[in-house]
A and B are shown apart, each in its own frame.
Chain A
Amino acid sequence: MKFEVRQFKRRAFSVLFLLQPFIPEQASTVAGHVDRFYYFMVAISVLLAAAVALLEIYFAIKYRRRAPDEIPRQILGSIKLESLVVVFLFILFTGMFVWGTSLYFTLYRPPREAMEIYVVGKQWMFLFQHPEGAREINELHVPVGRRVKLVMTSQDVIHSFFVPAFRVKSDMLPGRERYTTVWFEATKPGRYRIFCAEYCGTEHSSMGGWATVMEPSEYQAWLTKAGSAAATGMAGGGAGQTMAATGESLFQSLGCANCHSGSALAQCPALTGIFGKTVKLQNGQTATVDESYLRESILNPKAKVVAGYEPVMPAYQNVVSEEQTQQLIAYIRTLAAPKTPSGSGSPEAVSPKK
Chain B
Amino acid sequence: MQEITTPNTHHAPAAHPSVIHKMPRVHYLNANYGWRSWLFTVDHKRIGILYLVSITFYFVLGGIYATLIRLELATPQGDLLKAETYNKFFTQHGIIMVFFFLIPSIPAVLGNFLIPIMIGARDVAFPKLNLASWYIFNLGGFFMLYAVINGGVDTGWTFYTPYSSQFALGNVAPAALGIFIAGFSSILTGLNFIVTIHAMRAPGMTWFRLPLFVWALYATAIIQILGTPVIAITLAAVGLERLLHLGIFDPAYGGDPVLFQHLFWFYSHPAVYIMVLPAMGVVSELVANMTRKRIFGYTFVAFASIAIAVFGFMVWGHHMFVSGQGMYAGMIFSFLSFALSIPSAIKVFNWTATLYKGSISYDTPMLYAFGFVGLFTIGGLTGLFLAAMGLDVHVTDTYFVIAHFHYIMVGGALMAYLGGLHFWWPKLAGRMYPEGWGRLSALIVFVGFNLTFFPQFLLGYAGMPRRYHAYPEEYQVLNVMSSAGASILAVGLAFPIIYLIWSMRYGPVASANPWGAIGLEWTTSSPPPTENFDHSPVVTWEAYGFRPLEESEVVGQMTPDDRPA
A interface residues (Cβ-Cβ under 8 A, vs B) = 19, 22-24, 33-34, 37-38, 41, 44-45, 48-49, 52-53, 55-56, 59-60, 63-66, 68-82, 85-86, 89-90, 93-94, 96-97, 99-109, 123, 156-158, 160, 162, 164-165, 167-171, 173-178, 180, 193, 195-206
The answer to whether B335 touches A197, judged by C-beta atoms less than 8 angstroms apart, is no
User: In angstroms, how far is the closest chain A Cβ from the Cβ of B401?
Assistant: 10
In the complex, which residue of chain B has the Cβ closest to the Cβ of A103?
B390
Query: Using Cβ atoms and an 8 Å threshold, which residues of chain B touch A60?
Result: 355, 360, 362, 370
Q: Which residue of the partner chain, among B358, B377, B471, B552, contacts A49 with CB atoms under 8 Å?
A: B377
Q: Interface size for chain B: under 10, 10 to 19, 20 to 34, or 35 or more residues? A: 35 or more
Q: Residue B327 at the A interface, CB < 8 A?
A: yes
A76 touches B553 (CB 8 A): yes
CB of B356 within 8 A of CB of A158, answer no
Asked whether, in the complex, the Cβ of A77 is within 8 Å of the Cβ of B322, the reply is: no
B394 contact set on A, CB distance < 8 A: 34, 38, 164, 167-169
Contact B257–A175 (Cβ < 8 Å): yes
Q: Are B397 and A204 in contact (CB under 8 A)?
A: no
A93-B338 CB under 8 A given contacts A52-B352, A71-B546: yes
Inside 8 A of B353's CB, which chain A residues have their CB? 75, 77, 81
* B324 near A162: Cβ-Cβ < 8 Å: no
Among A174, A176, A204, contact of B467 (Cβ-Cβ < 8 Å):
A204
Please name all residues of chain B whose beta carbon is closer than 8 Å to the beta carbon of A38 when the two chains form the complex: 385, 391, 394, 461
Question: Judging by beta carbons under 8 Å apart, are A100 and B257 in contact?
Answer: no
Q: Is there an interface contact between A49 and B378, defined as CB atoms closer than 8 Å?
A: yes
| Cβ-defined partner of A75 (8 Å) among B11, B12, B293, B381 | B293
Binds A, one of B118-126, B192-200, B209-217, B342-350: B342-350
Whether B298 contacts A63 by the Cβ 8 Å rule is no
Chain A residues within an 8 Å CB radius of B392: 100, 104
Bound Cα distance from A335 to B299, whole angstroms: 67
- Known A107-B393, A170-B322, A199-B160: A75·B352 in contact at CB below 8 Å: no
Q: In the complex, what residues of B have CB within 8 A of residue A195's CB? A: 463, 465
Query: Which residues from chain B contact A180 at a C-beta distance below 8 Å?
Result: 324
Q: Would you call A162 and B552 a contact (CB within 8 A)? A: no
A69→B14 contact, CB < 8 A: yes
Are B465 and A197 in contact, with the CB atoms below 8 A? yes
B-side contacts of A68, CB under 8 Å: 14-16, 516
Contact with A along B487-515 (1 / 0, CB 8 A): 00000000000000000000000000000
Is B556 within 8 A of A80, CB to CB? yes
Q: With A56-B373, A160-B322, A171-B323 as known contacts, state yes or no: A97 contacts B338, CB within 8 Å.
A: yes
Q: Given A48-B377, A103-B390, do A76 and B551 touch, yes or no (CB 8 Å)?
A: no
Of the A-B pairs whose beta carbons lie under 8 Å apart in the complex, a sample of 7, sorted by A's number, is: A22-B458, A52-B377, A72-B293, A100-B388, A108-B327, A205-B467, A205-B469
Residue from the list A81, A107, A160 in contact with B555, Cβ < 8 A: A81
Smallest distance from the beta carbon of B216 to chain A beta carbons, Å?
A: 18
Query: By the criterion CB–CB under 8 Å, are B291 and A72 in contact?
Result: yes
Inter-chain CA distance A63–B287, complex, in Å, is 13
| Residues A82 and B257 in contact, CB atoms below 8 Å apart | no
Residues of A within 8 Å of B255, CB to CB, are 175
User: Is B472 among interface residues, defined by CB-CB distance under 8 A?
Assistant: yes
Are A94 and B338 touching (Cβ within 8 A)? Answer: yes
Q: A69-B516, A93-B384, A156-B162 are in contact. List 7 more A-B contacts (CB 8 A).
A: A37-B391, A38-B461, A76-B297, A77-B297, A96-B384, A97-B335, A201-B154
Q: Cα distance A153–B359 when bound, in Å?
A: 61
A-chain residues with CB within 8 Å of residue B334 when the two chains form the complex: 97, 100-101
